[in-house]
Each structure stands twice: as structure tokens, then as C-alpha cells.
Amino acid sequence: MNEQKLNLTLKIWRQASPDTAGQFKEYKISVSPDTSFLEMLDELNNELEKNNQEPVAFESDCREGICGTCGLVINGEPHGPLPKIATCQLHMRHFKNGDTIWVEPFRAKAFPVLKDLIVDRSALDKIITAGGYVSANTGSAPDANAIPISKDTASEAFDAAACIGCGACVAACKNASAMLFVSAKVSHLALLPQGHPERYRRVEAMVKVMDELGFGSCSNTYACEAECPKGISVRNIARLNREFIKAEAASTSVEA
């Protein structure tokens, strides 16, 4: 029995370089419902190359929802219509025959478009670098219960550490804020004793770099949490604010 295929119209953002204007271009494609979204783009590129046309530039690596490089805005939603998955985990069976699908890069001042669907997300790496190191002793692994940590605290830290740095929170926010990303990175270390020695220096440095790189302010619309493929909670933003206030107070007391 022949497999029923989906006949789709793709409106894909094409932009040759950061310094050139971009536009949506239309493509027709017929794909299996079991094809993943990125495999669908692979098939499109195969057809374009057969016809001596420039393939669509997009990023991917693990294709398992782990690395975060695959982020696209699909029909106006970062990572597409399904909650808590990355673009690479989205399959074409979630679209209907005859659908028109709009595909564009993440939009943010801090994420300049490099080519087509690829953006420069190195701003997130710079924030991580600003966080610096953790001065925990290295060597053999300590006994599991050497440092008592409650189950609730460990779970919160693990949930925050699940952030894959894809930037969907930035793309979803009307202000292009990176607060959810930064708060996740601050939280998972602030919650654990290993991260306490540098906690105040860390939060001040990361927030400073975040502001310098052109990310917007958080206005608590929670769009970031809704679009995050790992379901990072906005509770981390509240923790980030508390950590920052404590750091500022500590700095003031030291100066006094």
C-alpha cells in the first residue's frame, strides 16, 4: 500500500548574509507524515541542489532535543506548535495536507541572522563565560551523601540545569529578554552548595553582560516558559532577582 504523503507549501526566510535584506520564498514539497521537520528540510535541500539552486541554510546537531542548535520559528512559534519539544523533535504528522508553513529564524537584536535560518547565538555563550568558574575541589568523586542536599533542592537544581541554551525564550519574548536562560544558569548553581562561593559575583557579572549584549527586559508575560522545550519555570527568574538583590546588598555593605 502506498504511503499517504503530505503536500505542503513552505514559506521560508532566505537571507544571503547579515548585511543583505531577506525575504520569504515559497517552495512546494511532498513528504511522509513520519518525516521530522529537519528531515523535511533535508529533502527540500536535496531537491534544490538537484536543480542547481542554493540550499536552505539551517542549524542542527544532535537531532535529539539535547543541544538546542535547531531552533526555528514555525508558524510564529519558536520550535513549532507542540509544547516542550525542540524543532528536531517535531514531525510532519502534526501538520495537515495542504498546509502552508512559515519558517523563519529566531528574531532578536542579540541574535543577528547569519544566513537564512541560522542566527548567531554566541551572546548566550558570552553570558555563560561571564559566570566564570566554580571553586569546587576536583579529583575523585565524593561519596553521594558527603554534602547533604534535600531532594526538593536537588530536583529544582536539576530542572534548572536542563536548559539547553537554544534561545527560544528570547525569541518568544516581546522584549527579546534572556532572563529565563540566565536565571536557569544562575539557579542551578545558586541552589547547590558547590556554587555558593561565587554566587554573588556570578549573578552580577552575568546580568551585566546580558544587558550589554542588547537583550530586553522581562515584563512577566511568561511566553518564555510556554515556549521553552525543557519547560524551565519562571520561578527561576524570581530566584535570579533575589540573588541579584542580595549581591547588590552585599557589595554595598563591603564598600561601606
Domain ranges within the chain, ordered by starting residue: 6-115, 121-255
**Backbone phi, psi, residue 29, to 5°:** -150, 150
The structural architecture, per CATH, of the domain 6-115 is Roll (3.10)
* pLDDT value, residue 186: 96
Among candidates 148, 134, 222, 136, which has minimal Cα distance to 183? Answer: 222
Among candidates 219, 116, 241, 224, which has minimal Cα distance to 170? Answer: 224
Is the pLDDT confidence value at 166 over 80? yes
Is the pLDDT confidence value at 9 over 60? yes
pTM: 0.91
* pLDDT value, residue 194: 86
| Domain 121-255, CATH homologous superfamily name and number | Alpha-helical ferredoxin (1.10.1060.10)
* pLDDT value, residue 256: 46
Is the pLDDT confidence value at 231 over 60? yes
Q: What is the mean pLDDT of the chain?
A: 93
Q: Judge whether 10 and 116 are in contact, CB under 8 Å.
A: no
Mean pLDDT, to the nearest integer, of 155-184? Answer: 97
Is the pLDDT confidence value at 252 over 50? yes
Is the pLDDT confidence value at 117 over 50? yes
135 alpha carbon, distance to own chain's centre = 27
Mean pLDDT lowest for which of 89-98, 104-113, 138-147?
138-147
Mean pLDDT, to the nearest integer, of 6-18? Answer: 97
d(CA 186, CA 219): 19
Is the pLDDT confidence value at 208 over 70? yes
For 21-69, the pLDDT digits (tens) are 999 999 999 999 999 999 999 999 999 999 999 999 999 999 999 999 9
